[in-house]
Amino acid sequence: LFAGEVEFLKGVVGMDGLPPDDRIEVCFAGRSNVGKSSLINALTGRKGIARASNTPGRTQEINFFTLGDERFLVDLPGYGYANAPLAVVEKWQRLLKQYLSGRANLRRAFVLVDHRHGVKAVDEEIMTLLDRSAVTFQVVLTKEDKVKEKDRAAILTQVREKLSKHPAAYPEIVVTSSEKGDGIETLRAIIAGLA
Ligand code: GTP
Ligand code: MG
């Protein structure tokens, strides 16, 4: 499903720009710089299809990619700190929240959490919004390659504990490294399996 079947469709800056909600849709949400765009690149096997960079606030639009004929992958702007003017950040945060709470065909939101840092207050805010909007979300831990072995278990416990409080959370956590490729095949299978 992923090989050679991904195309960039459009970048959207307002709810009126969203494509028709006639496909199964999954989105990638998370704090600025957590690795959303990199994960899309890794999933699709096309480096650079989603623009990634070390500057938090790189993705400033909602970017839609078509996956075959039936699915949309959606790269979202980050929340939390961003290296961009406040007015601009506030505009995209508002759009992000509108999108996450009002998209009828959104089957699953992947909430990306840096494996070194665990779930932060801003992540919980988004999770609560997803609970209220009845959007099933699944946590994807990112940058697995950067976690210290001694911290791993405690962070996983923290994440599980946080998830247990969110009714919209899907219990299985996916551990990934876009750099090394860990968890990418698992995530592809999850996306391909959504009906
Ligand atoms: P915004 O669009 O600004 O919200 O950021 P983003 O969440 O899309 O993050 P992006 O994919 O641009 O990645 C941010 C930085 O983290 C880049 O420098 C990436 O190279 C790096 N990065 C992403 N994933 C990984 C990973 O799995 N391992 C390592 N070591 N670095 C990663
Ligand atoms: Mg990005």
For the CA of 78, the closest atom of ligand 1 is: 4
Q: Give residue 154 CA to ligand 2 midpoint distance, Å.
A: 27
Taking the domains of the chain in order of start, what are their residue ranges? 6-193
- d(CA 178, ligand 2 centre) in Å: 13
Contact 113, 142 (CB under 8 A): yes
Confidence of residue 99 (pLDDT cuts 50, 70, 90): very high
Mean pLDDT of all residues in 69-93: 88
**CA atoms of 23 and 52, how far apart (whole Å):** 25
- Predicted local distance difference test score (pLDDT) of residue 111: 98
Cα–Cα distance, 177 to 175 (Å, whole number): 7
Q: Going by C-beta distance under 8 Å and a sequence separation of 6 or more, which residues neighbour residue 159?
A: 113, 118, 119, 139, 141, 173
ipTM over 0.95: yes
Query: Average pLDDT, stretch 131-143?
Result: 97
pLDDT of residue 192: 94
The CATH H-level superfamily of 6-193 is P-loop containing nucleotide triphosphate hydrolases (3.40.50.300)
State the distance from the centre of ligand 2 to the C-alpha of 181, rounded, in angstroms: 18
Convert the pLDDT of each residue in 43-60 to its tens digit.
Answer: 999 888 998 888 888 888
Q: Is residue 110 within 8 Å of 184, Cβ to Cβ?
A: no
Structure tokens at 14: 């307002």
Specify the residue with its C-alpha closest to ligand 1, atom 13.
35
Helix 36-44 to helix 184-193 angle (10° resolution) is 80
Q: pTM higher than 0.80 for the full model?
A: yes
